């Protein structure tokens, strides 16, 4: 790490070498470790904004020119930044970021690089649909290759086979996904100095301030236009590689240091006291294990809180498609063809065709509301339309039976059971990728199982109350009957 530290300092970075070091951490590759007891508010290192690597700081966009940059769609999504990174790497020692690029990983544990058999282990989760390999490949062929082939002065043909392959594109994309930060323009910055340099605008000195400094909080947005200045979160020019800051690992609710933004510098500052020997953790925004695996290639395994038990990630969640609700109502209540009108109305009003259950194992309000809509009598449905409001998320026995059916059918989408997965993990012989896949799907299944258990006890209570209401109704009717008999007799 000495070479990297020296490069960092030579380019204006400052690091408190007495306070921290970068070292090997079992299970995390490298990470930052405190070398002495540190108080809250201690600055660990400072990165000049122009040492961050983005489409604002790389010289490539200005060499290509704004119109070419836009003509090839490099101002949309991550293709522009990835091309800058490929180009900087191809410059070797000539690149300002040579000392940084050379220490970045080229191998990843993310599903983008998994075998088919490993991807099969994620069946039931929504991770596979979100990997984005096809989109990345399309960007490479539609944007990056054409621009490379159009400028042999910038991309010499002999360099293409080494630096500008689809494989390198995926590697750079994965570096962005797992290590980039949002670095917006500094507040008050003239808006017309855009990221795509006209002439000399390769400095970010005049740029950004940010609120969220976790690596890679932004995702590739296919249809974002750079001109859309209103939404900084989505501005691809704000996505930056931040040397040194990206050496920090993260774990659920463990953050003890964070990147702070100043006009000319970014600073990593402790947010809690840290003891000598402890790891210095940044935050990645505490995502669920499904996102951790997809973006970073690792999972968090910490003690779970009730109603769950065992270990996992309290930020986990499960997505449930609305069509499972439609099928469950249809299964329990008969053909739903007549309800197409209600489904269309729901989609129009609620704009929600996926429900999310979290680790509190509560039924999602929207799921309850849709179920109620589908269970309504014709008269109630007419009333709902007149009011123009979604049904209130209240449960009764009928609704709980449907909800349990929905959760069970969602659970059946995973090929293995909770018990089978627990046994697989206990065995301890799984490869990293398979283990991570099992942890992701087990976390989701535990949420579903916990939610089913909760809904079942609610159903039992609801049925008991229905039957006690029924009993007292019957008793009252019997009493009234007996009384009227007595009255009749008395009158005779």
Binding range to ligand SAM, per CB under 6 A, among 138-146, 242-250, 343-351, 406-414: 242-250
139 or 255: CB nearest ligand SAM: 255
Q: How far apart are CA 413 and CA 41, in angstroms?
A: 48
Contacts of 357 (CB under 8 A, 6+ apart): 317, 318, 320, 363, 364, 407, 447, 448, 451
Q: What's the token pair of residue 303?
A: 């003690």
R_g of the chain, CA atoms, integer Å? 29
Binding range to ligand SAM, per CB under 6 A, among 120-128, 140-148, 291-299, 462-470: 291-299
By the rule CB under 6 A, 214 interacts with ligand SAM: no
Shortest Cβ 45–ligand SAM spacing (Å): 14
Shortest Cβ 59–ligand SAM spacing (Å): 25
Binding range to ligand SAM, per CB under 6 A, among 57-65, 124-132, 157-165, 247-255: 247-255
96 or 295: CB nearest ligand SAM: 295
Residue 104: phi, psi to the nearest 5? -80, 145
Q: How far apart are CA 85 and CA 71, in angstroms?
A: 19
Specify the pairing of strand 257-261 against strand 249-250: unpaired
Interface residue with ligand SAM among 251, 342, 410, 435 (CB under 6 A) is 251
Residue 54 contacts residue 208 (beta carbons within 8 Å): no
| Binding footprint of ligand SAM, residue count (CB under 6 A) | 18
Tell me which residues in 73-132 interact with ligand SAM (CB under 6 A).
105
Residue 215 contacts residue 246 (beta carbons within 8 Å): yes
By the rule CB under 6 A, 316 interacts with ligand SAM: no
By the rule CB under 6 A, 28 interacts with ligand SAM: yes
300 or 366: CB nearest ligand SAM: 300
Q: What's the token pair of residue 45?
A: 């290192």
Binding range to ligand SAM, per CB under 6 A, among 28-36, 146-154, 201-209, 390-398: 28-36
Shortest Cβ 399–ligand SAM spacing (Å): 40
Tell me which residues in 30-59 interact with ligand SAM (CB under 6 A).
30-31
Q: Which residues of 477-488 are buried (b: 16+ CB within 10 A; e: fewer)?
A: eeeeeeeeeeee
96 or 298: CB nearest ligand SAM: 298
Binding range to ligand SAM, per CB under 6 A, among 193-201, 243-251, 347-355, 372-380: 243-251
**Number of other CB atoms surrounding residue 215 within 10 Å:** 25
Interface residue with ligand SAM among 13, 99, 173, 215 (CB under 6 A) is 215
- Write down the residue that tokens 């220490």 correspond to: 103
Closest CA to 238 of 55, 87, 73, 64: 55
339 or 435: CB nearest ligand SAM: 435
Interface residue with ligand SAM among 296, 355, 381, 414 (CB under 6 A) is 296
Q: How far apart are CA 199 and CA 242, in angstroms?
A: 24
Q: What's the token pair of residue 194?
A: 């855009």
Q: How far apart are CA 287 and CA 247, in angstroms?
A: 19
Shortest Cβ 29–ligand SAM spacing (Å): 3
By the rule CB under 6 A, 250 interacts with ligand SAM: yes
Interface residue with ligand SAM among 236, 287, 297, 312 (CB under 6 A) is 297
Shortest Cβ 407–ligand SAM spacing (Å): 30
Interface residue with ligand SAM among 249, 256, 359, 401 (CB under 6 A) is 249
Shortest Cβ 297–ligand SAM spacing (Å): 5
- 17 CB-side CA count, 13 A: 9
- 161 CB-side CA count, 13 A: 2
Contacts of 431 (CB under 8 A, 6+ apart): 118
By the rule CB under 6 A, 175 interacts with ligand SAM: no
Q: How far apart are CA 48 and CA 12, in angstroms?
A: 6
Shortest Cβ 35–ligand SAM spacing (Å): 18
Q: How far apart are CA 451 and CA 360, in angstroms?
A: 8
257 or 404: CB nearest ligand SAM: 257
Q: Which residues bind to ligand SAM, rule: CB under 6 A? A: 27-31, 105, 178-179, 215, 246-251, 296-298
């Amino acid at each position: 790490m000495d070479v990297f530290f020296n490069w960092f300092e030579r380019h204006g970075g400052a690091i408190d070498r007495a306070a921290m070091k970068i070292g090997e951490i079992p299970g995390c590759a490298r990470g930052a470790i405190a070398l002495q007891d540190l108080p809250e508010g201690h600055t660990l290192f400072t990165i000049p904004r122009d040492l961050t690597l983005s489409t604002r700081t790389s010289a490539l966009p200005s060499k290509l020119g704004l119109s070419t940059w836009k003509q090839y769609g490099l101002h949309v999504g991550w293709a522009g930044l990835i091309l800058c990174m490929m180009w900087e790497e191809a410059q070797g020692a000539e690149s300002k970021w040579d000392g940084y690029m050379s220490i970045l990983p080229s191998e990843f544990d993310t599903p983008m690089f998994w075998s088919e058999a490993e991807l099969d282990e994620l069946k039931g989760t929504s991770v596979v649909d979100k990997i984005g390999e096809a989109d990345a490949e399309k960007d490479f062929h539609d944007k990056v290759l054409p621009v490379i082939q159009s400028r042999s002065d910038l991309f010499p043909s002999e360099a293409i086979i080494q630096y500008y392959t689809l494989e390198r594109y995926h590697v750079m994309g994965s570096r962005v996904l797992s290590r980039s930060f949002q670095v917006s323009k500094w507040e008050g910055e003239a808006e017309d100095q855009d990221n795509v340099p006209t002439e000399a605008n390769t400095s970010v000195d005049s740029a950004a301030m940010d609120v969220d400094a976790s690596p890679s909080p932004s995702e590739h947005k296919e249809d974002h236009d750079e001109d859309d200045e209103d939404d900084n979160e989505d501005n691809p020019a704000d996505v930056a590689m931040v040397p040194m800051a990206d050496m920090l690992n993260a774990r659920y609710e463990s953050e003890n240091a964070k990147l702070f933004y100043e006009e000319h510098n970014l600073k990593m500052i402790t947010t809690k006291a840290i003891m000598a020997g402890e790891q210095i953790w940044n935050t990645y925004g505490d995502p669920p294990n499904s996102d951790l695996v997809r973006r970073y290639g690792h999972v968090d395994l910490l003690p779970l809180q009730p109603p769950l038990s065992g270990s996992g990630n309290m930020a986990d969640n499960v997505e449930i498609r609305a069509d499972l609700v439609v099928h469950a109502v249809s299964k329990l209540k008969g053909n739903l063809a007549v309800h197409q009108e209600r489904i269309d109305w729901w989609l129009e009003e609620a704009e929600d065709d996926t429900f999310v259950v979290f680790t509190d194992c509560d039924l999602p309000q929207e799921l309850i509301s849709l179920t109620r809509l589908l269970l309504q009598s014709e008269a109630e449905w007419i009333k709902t339309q007149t009011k123009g409001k979604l049904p209130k998320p209240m449960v009764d026995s009928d609704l709980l039976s449907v909800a349990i059916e929905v959760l069970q059918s969602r659970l059946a989408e995973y090929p293995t059971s909770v018990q089978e997965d627990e046994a697989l993990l206990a065995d301890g012989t799984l490869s990293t990728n398979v283990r991570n896949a099992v942890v992701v799907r087990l976390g989701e299944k535990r949420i579903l199982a916990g939610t089913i258990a909760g809904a079942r006890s609610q159903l039992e209570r609801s049925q008991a109350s229905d039957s006690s209401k029924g009993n007292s109704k019957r008793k009252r009717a019997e009493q009234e009957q007996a009384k009227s008999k007595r009255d009749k007799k008395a009158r005779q």
